[in-house]
Amino acid sequence: MTGNAYRERADRFARMLMQQAAWPAAVVVAANSLAPLAASARGAFETLPAAIALSVSAASAVAVLALSALLVFDALLFRLMASHNDEASGGAAVDGILARMRLKPSPSTTRPLDDRMAGTRRLLFKQRAALALFAAALLTAGFWAPR
């Protein structure tokens, strides 16, 4: 794929990734800043199930934030791809950066844009699963807290 269609597609995907990385991270940060206040006021740390649920929510919050950071990194790589005129040179530029950063070895052939997008979509799914686990654990902690 060459020209404006390739560039527009990669840039549009990068914009979408930035949005999809930002809002779950903002939700987790906001919920984590408010949850301890509500939990201590209700005595949630006094029961074992609530304490376990809060621990699970904290671990899943870290996972959401880490996956959001990875999605931002991927978005920047897609922006780099969009800055090149064709898919081959954009993919080669990304592969070169990843090899210089020692994150991936240099491939013999460059992967197409669709394959790269599919890999990032799997990362996006993992972020959503971690966000769902976070929400479920936070709600469970509220359920088990004494009234």
Query: Residue 78 belongs to what domain range?
Result: 3-144
| Total tally of structural domains belonging to the chain | 1
pLDDT band for 123, please (50, 70, 90 cuts): very high
* Alpha helix (H) residue ranges in 1-147: 3-42, 48-82, 87-100, 113-144
Cα–Cα distance between 96 and 93 in angstroms, integer? 5
pLDDT exceeds 70 at position 111: yes
pLDDT of residue 38: 62
The terminus-to-terminus CA distance of the chain in angstroms comes to: 60
Alpha-carbon distances of 68 from 2, 24, 33, 65, rounded to whole Å: 29, 8, 18, 5
Taking the model in full, what pTM does it have?
0.86
